[in-house]
Structure 1
């Protein structure tokens, strides 16, 4: 399946990225701390022993303050390592010094954990999964960047019968009425923005 080929998704991605690219470093820095505060108050993260997260890059809503706060709480934080086929391996976050900058082809460099690789199935043991995205709609459907990496993660969780809390971190303007969906898309449980939390479905 080729992800990200839907023309409506492609146009919406382009529009959202244009707005993101117009943000200043100060905008991004402020949102990082606001997002961390909102996310840390989520019961799904307050009770989590293991959280699968990611390191924000460029003008993505910042995650480092949240990663550090979770790590300081004693939460096991798993971070993705992008594989050649766009699937994700995982490694543990041990503080900002444990990250290395990795260039994947002509794409943006990513910050990845430098330690032991835990295997793609490590995400199945997470109590909560923080998903990157560009938008989420009123039903909880997430618009990703189109690489398909997190579609694989979500499919892996479903196959394993795992049901972690699925949480997307976004800017306020990225919560929209509707995003185009495909059969493989799954709704998330909640979105966290600098101004608050919105829930879409409860967990059993």
Structure 2
């Protein structure tokens, strides 16, 4: 299946999830992730502020911040690359490009993700064999993941059925080392 058709299929499946299912999935994903010692010890975490039917990260970002981690969130630039800024609580966000909430703190630059001890990214699907993630098609997170060191845990948050064996890839696609679904954590590499 090509990327466009797979994206359509996955977005349709996400659209069929009820608000109750989305909340339950978010809770399971957040608890699974927060139970990992390497997550608990991460001092600087790059994450994202979820939108729509993405696995919800608002509670995760807040929990990481309350437990003492410095959390940086992306700021989408005009060229679709990601700048980063520090999250300092729920009152420090404002709508950015496309209405996506982003921190109002000073921008840290596209290379700020290099300093993260943990990187959590969105994905529509991840290939369980290779760790290649399928995003929305803008390449923003592929560029960000390209800046992350080889030993830094990179994690994609998914709904059930999105960890697959058939995710198409191209040379620019980047992989993640872990995927978290409501069923649990999967090490990919």
Q: 2:75, 2:96 within 8 Å by CA — same for their partners in 1?
A: no
Say whether 1:118 aligns with 2:101: no
In structure 1, the residue corresponding to 2:156 is in which secondary structure? strand
After the TM superposition, which of the residue ranges 166-175 and 20-29 deviates more from structure 2? 20-29
1:132 — aligned with what? 122
Q: Following superposition of structure 1 onto structure 2, how do residues 91-106 of structure 1 map, counting pairs within 5 Å?
A: 91-104=85-98
- The correspondence of residues 110-189 of structure 1 with structure 2, limited to 5 A, is 110-139=100-129, 140-157=131-148, 161=149, 163-189=151-177
Separation in 2, partners of 1:22, 1:72: 32
- Residue 6 (structure 2) aligned to one of 5, 12, 29: 12
How many residues get paired?
188
**Which of these residues, 8, 25, 31, is aligned with residue 25 of structure 2?**
31
Distance 1:101 1:165, change over 3 A: same
RMSD of aligned C-alpha atoms?
1.4
Unaligned runs of 5+ residues in structure 1 are 1-6
Alignment gaps of 5+ in structure 2: none
- Contact persistence 1:81–1:112 (CA under 8 A): yes
